[in-house]
């Protein structure tokens, strides 16, 4: 059982007063002037630590933890990670990190001192329920899914502390690790960067390519129209098991729902039928992952594999003869987000997933990529002569992949491989597209991985012709800035909107017009058009009408889509009361009614603009002044 710990210092009056005032008033109250940073002191962490220790010893979650959780609205904050990336209340981040730091410290201490794992698991379930994160059904199933892997990591990672673990998992909430081993470097095969020559964009009438970008499919084979969309599990509903519908407005729509529900088969099929009829000139498809629905407490290996097979079959059946270049998303694994390093060969080995996608992706990819796909779900292949695609597994940067607590140093040697592939492409005179699920500047991408990724992109900026991501479910872009000449934007990445409505969104897709196949082509994106289905309309009419929401050049009055032009757009959107920003937010949120009703105030605007100018999560300096 647990070894003795030193006696706790007596909390100061300041600590008690600070935490009490936060619980009674909080920074969210009108007129409140107490910054949460004052609450994050060693003494406050002492109070929280004692509360966690008491909970471990008694099995009962005490009133302090319950009150803090309720004041933070912890259940809503955790669900905001992807769905409301621009609106998360960052003023609460320090206290969230303190709760995580002291809570995991207590759990790690208990594990290392022989506490019965069943006691810890029971406490985790109780905390999940009593802190309002979800109901007992969710909490029991999810904790039982993840506890084996977490215990393995906590038992086998040397010198692990709560601060270190939280600084990796909750980097998106501002938590920081103090472990110097988390800072590492990837050696470039050639550090001598050739002179940068800006690409020459083609004259009108030059050949072009048309490219479909599908992102965040989140297909739910068990979606049930009319089922409960306001279920107790909170994170995911709209199924037969979601409980009784207590009022008519709680019923899920036939074609999808703005609440925590994913895409039924007939919604996806209607989208594919529309794409086939409207875009008959597609040259290839980029598909940037997340095929599994959001029922994260109720997944299985076999269930996930079957959904992946079904999604691949739908694409193959609907777009025969069109090359497809996929990337893996964080929801493809079981448990969700769990992507162990390829050298893990015990019961947690990830080969059950990678071996299957190697087979499924062979529908479109050549045999020579099979080895790297089976190893770590990344690959390099030619799209056509002179144009290559690198598909990167960004789950190795995702903080919620708890295997990074165990070992985050270039998992799968992926960044080393990426740099070597880009170096070979540079030598061959090829252009390269980088495709991934999670954008490298996303809040939840670990800082060192993100920094090293950016270092590689900067070195090979003239070889890289395009960068394409998903994950956020929104429609936006991400600037890459020269780390030396910091005002020079040298690349722009495109983040495609989700196919799923999850959550508060309309389903949609993106089509790029790209500099075409000819000698000396830049292969840069020349324009993109964005299509949606309005859920309110289709659930009323029962007639799925996809329509073009906007095209980038015309809507934003841009002469081209160079990084400089996108940077100019950001500058214009910074202005107070910018109608350009209002237009951008409308498109960013896919014209979805819930987002339009909520609006985007100055705080929201500042966060969203910040996300547009950060590609390196270790450097937010471009957010200064926003």
Mean pLDDT, residues 188-192 taken together: 95
* Residue list, annotated binding site: 216, 218, 290, 330, 437, 471, 473
- The per-residue pLDDT for range 524-541, each reduced to its tens digit, is 999 999 999 999 999 999
Q: Is residue 345 part of a domain?
A: no
CA distance 502 to 257: 8
Q: Is residue 590 part of a domain?
A: yes
Q: Are residues 129 and 212 in the same domain?
A: no
Between these two residues, 89 and 388, which has the higher pLDDT value? 388
Q: What percent of the chain has pLDDT over 90?
A: 76
Which pLDDT belongs to residue 443? 93
When mean pLDDT is compared across 170-174, 393-397, 446-450, 614-618, the lowest value belongs to 170-174
Q: Are residues 559 and 616 in the same domain?
A: yes
Where among 182, 200, 233 does a domain terminate? 182
Q: Are residues 149 and 219 in the same domain?
A: no
Q: Are residues 105 and 212 in the same domain?
A: no
Identify the band that residue 88 occupies on the pLDDT scale cut at 50, 70 and 90. low
Give SS3 for 595: helix
Helix (H), strand (E) at residue 551: strand 546-551
Q: Are residues 522 and 432 in the same domain?
A: yes
* CATH number of the domain residue 523 falls in: 3.60.21
Between these two residues, 71 and 502, which has the higher pLDDT value? 502
Q: Are residues 450 and 584 in the same domain?
A: yes
Q: Are residues 488 and 600 in the same domain?
A: yes
Residue 80: is its pLDDT beyond 80? no
Q: Is residue 54 part of a domain?
A: yes
Q: Are residues 218 and 135 in the same domain?
A: no
Domain that holds residue 19: 13-182
Mean pLDDT, residues 76-94 taken together: 56
Residue 274: is its pLDDT beyond 70? yes
CA distance 237 to 257: 10
Cβ-contact 544, 265 below 8 angstroms: no
Which pLDDT belongs to residue 569? 98
DSSP letter, residue 290: -
Mean pLDDT, residues 151-174 taken together: 94
DSSP β-ladder status, 431-435 and 464-469: parallel
Instruction: Estimate the share of the chain in helix, then strand, then coil, as percent rounded to the nearest 5.
Output: 45, 10, 45
- The per-residue pLDDT for range 16-58, each reduced to its tens digit, is 444 444 444 444 443 344 444 444 456 667 788 888 888 888 8
Structural domains counted in the chain: 2
Distances in Å between the alpha carbon of 335 and those of 15, 235, 303, 407? 38, 15, 11, 18
CA distance 269 to 539: 16
Q: Which residues contact 364 (CB under 8 A, 6 or more apart)?
A: 323, 324, 325, 326
Mean pLDDT, residues 187-208 taken together: 91
Give SS3 for 548: strand
Cβ-contact 48, 99 below 8 angstroms: yes
Which pLDDT belongs to residue 3? 39
* Residue list, annotated binding site for Zn(2+): 216, 218, 290, 330, 437, 471, 473
DSSP β-ladder status, 284-287 and 525-533: unpaired
Identify the band that residue 129 occupies on the pLDDT scale cut at 50, 70 and 90. confident
- Pick from 74, 134, 127: which is nearest to 104 by CA? 127
Question: b/e for 161-197, b at 16 or more Cβ within 10 A?
Answer: bbbbbbbbbbbbbebebebeebeeebebeeeeeeeee
Q: Are residues 501 and 613 in the same domain?
A: yes
Q: Are residues 382 and 531 in the same domain?
A: yes
- The per-residue pLDDT for range 304-325, each reduced to its tens digit, is 999 999 999 999 999 999 999 9
- The per-residue pLDDT for range 377-430, each reduced to its tens digit, is 999 999 999 999 999 999 999 999 999 999 999 999 999 999 999 999 999 999
pTM: 0.92
Q: Is residue 412 part of a domain?
A: yes
Mean pLDDT of the chain: 90
Task: Say which residue the tokens 């609205």 belong to.
Answer: 73
- Pick from 274, 351, 346, 285: which is nearest to 315 by CA? 285
Give SS3 for 201: coil
Mean pLDDT, residues 225-234 taken together: 95
DSSP bridge pairs for 324: 285
Question: b/e for 74-90, b at 16 or more Cβ within 10 A?
Answer: bbebbbebbbbbbbbbe
Q: Is residue 385 part of a domain?
A: yes
Q: Are residues 418 and 517 in the same domain?
A: yes
Residue 6: is its pLDDT beyond 60? no
Q: Is residue 203 part of a domain?
A: no
Which pLDDT belongs to residue 38? 47
Q: Are residues 141 and 290 in the same domain?
A: no
Q: Is residue 232 part of a domain?
A: no
Four-point Cα dihedral 302, 305, 310, 315, nearest 10: 180
Helix 117-130 / helix 42-58 crossing angle, nearest 10 deg:
120
Q: Is residue 47 part of a domain?
A: yes
CA distance 80 to 86: 9
């Amino acid at each position: 059982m647990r070894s003795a710990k030193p006696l706790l210092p007596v909390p100061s009056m300041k600590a008690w007063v600070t935490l009490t005032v936060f619980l009674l008033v909080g920074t969210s109250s009108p007129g409140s002037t107490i910054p949460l940073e004052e609450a994050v002191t060693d003494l406050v962490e002492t109070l929280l630590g004692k509360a966690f220790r008491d909970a471990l010893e008694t099995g009962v979650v005490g009133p302090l933890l319950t009150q803090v959780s309720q004041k933070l609205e912890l259940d809503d904050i955790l669900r905001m990670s992807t769905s409301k990336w621009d609106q998360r209340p960052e003023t609460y981040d320090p206290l969230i990190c303190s709760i995580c730091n002291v809570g995991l410290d207590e759990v790690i201490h208990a594990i290392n001192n022989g506490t019965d794992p069943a006691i810890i698991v029971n406490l985790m379930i109780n905390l999940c329920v009593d802190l309002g994160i979800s109901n007992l059904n969710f909490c029991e199933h999810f904790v039982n899914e993840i506890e084996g892997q977490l215990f393995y990591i906590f038992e086998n990672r040397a010198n692990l502390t709560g601060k270190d673990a939280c600084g990796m998992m909750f980097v998106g909430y501002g938590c920081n690790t103090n472990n110097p081993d988390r800072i590492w470097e990837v050696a470039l095969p050639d550090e001598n960067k050739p002179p940068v020559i800006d690409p020459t964009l083609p004259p009108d009438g030059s050949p072009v390519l048309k490219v479909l970008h599908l992102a965040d499919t989140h297909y739910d084979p068990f979606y049930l129209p009319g089922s409960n969309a306001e279920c107790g599990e909170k994170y995911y509903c709209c199924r037969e098991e979601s409980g009784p519908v207590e009022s008519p407005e709680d019923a899920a729509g036939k074609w999808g729902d703005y609440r925590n529900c994913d895409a039924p088969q007939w919604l996806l099929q209607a989208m594919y039928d529309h794409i086939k009829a409207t875009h008959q000139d597609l040259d290839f498809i980029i598909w940037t992952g997340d095929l599994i629905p959001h029922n994260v407490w109720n997944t299985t290996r076999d269930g996930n594999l079957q959904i992946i097979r079904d999604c691949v079959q739908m694409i193959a059946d609907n777009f025969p003869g069109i090359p497809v270049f996929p990337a893996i998303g964080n929801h493809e694994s079981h448990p969700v987000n769990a992507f162990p390093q390829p050298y893990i060969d015990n019961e947690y080995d990830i080969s059950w997933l990678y071996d299957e996608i190697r087979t499924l992706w062979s529908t479109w990819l050549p045999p020579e990529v099979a080895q790297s796909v089976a190893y770590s779900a990344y690959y390099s292949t030619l799209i056509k002569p002179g144009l290559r695609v690198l598909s990167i597994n960004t789950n190795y940067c995702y903080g919620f992949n708890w295997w990074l607590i165990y070992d985050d140093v270039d998992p799968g040697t992926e960044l080393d491989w990426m740099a070597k592939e880009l170096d070979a492409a540079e030598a061959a005179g090829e252009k390269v597209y980088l495709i991934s699920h999670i954008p490298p500047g996303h809040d939840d991408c670990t800082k060192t991985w993100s920094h090293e990724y950016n270092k590689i992109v900067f070195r090979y900026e003239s070889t890289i012709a395009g960068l394409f991501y998903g994950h956020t479910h929104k429609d936006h872009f991400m600037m890459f800035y020269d780390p030396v000449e910091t005002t020079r934007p040298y690349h722009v990445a495109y983040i495609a909107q989700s196919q799923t409505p999850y959550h508060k969104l309309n389903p949609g897709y993106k089509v790029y017009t790209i500099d075409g196949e000819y000698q000396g082509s830049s292969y840069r994106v020349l324009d993109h058009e964005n299509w949606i289905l309005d859920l309110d309309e289709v659930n009323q009419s029962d007639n799925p009408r996809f329509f073009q929401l906007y095209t980038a050049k015309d809507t934003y009055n841009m002469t081209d889509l160079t990084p400089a032009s996108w940077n100019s757009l950001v500058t214009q959107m910074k202005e107070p009361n910018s109608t350009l920003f209002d237009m951008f937010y409308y498109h960013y949120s896919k014209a979805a009614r819930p987002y339009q009703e909520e609006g985007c105030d100055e705080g929201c605007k500042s966060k969203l603009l910040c996300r547009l100018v950060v590609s390196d999560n270790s450097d937010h300096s471009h957010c200064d002044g926003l």
